[in-house]
Amino acid sequence: MIRCCSFVGKRGNGAQAISIGKNCDKFGIVVHGLGHVFGIWHEHTRPDCDQHVDIVTRNIMIGQEYNFNKLTEEEASEHYCTCGMQEDVYQFGLDGITHLL
């Protein structure tokens, strides 16, 4: 499976890898990946996300549950809290079923 992904923030020494595979070569997808490179997390991982979104866990693909873990207060920096990103509501969903409401 070819994915569009990046680590959040700098990892290790040297160049930061970002995966821009097939169907990932669209402007918005590349900008989204670069946001992760710069340290921006998804809104649905905020420590207070339960006040803003409902995650339908039964619709999440097996093995992708970790993408919906909440950050701790320590992990969520001031920068993150003011400019998080939205995830595609169908990404990691089962058969095109939405998992974010």
pLDDT in tens, 10-50: 778 888 778 887 888 888 888 888 888 888 888 888 888 88
The structural domains of the chain, with segments of one domain joined by +, span 1-39, 42-101
Q: Is 36 annotated as a binding residue?
A: yes
User: Does the annotation flag 52 for ligand binding?
Assistant: no
Inter-residue contact 64 to 92 (CB < 8 Å): yes
| pLDDT for the residue 35 | 87
- Helical H segments across 1-101, by residue range: 27-37, 78-82
Global pTM exceeds 0.75:
no
99 labeled binding residue: no
Residue 95: band (very low, low, confident or very high) from pLDDT cuts 50, 70, 90: low
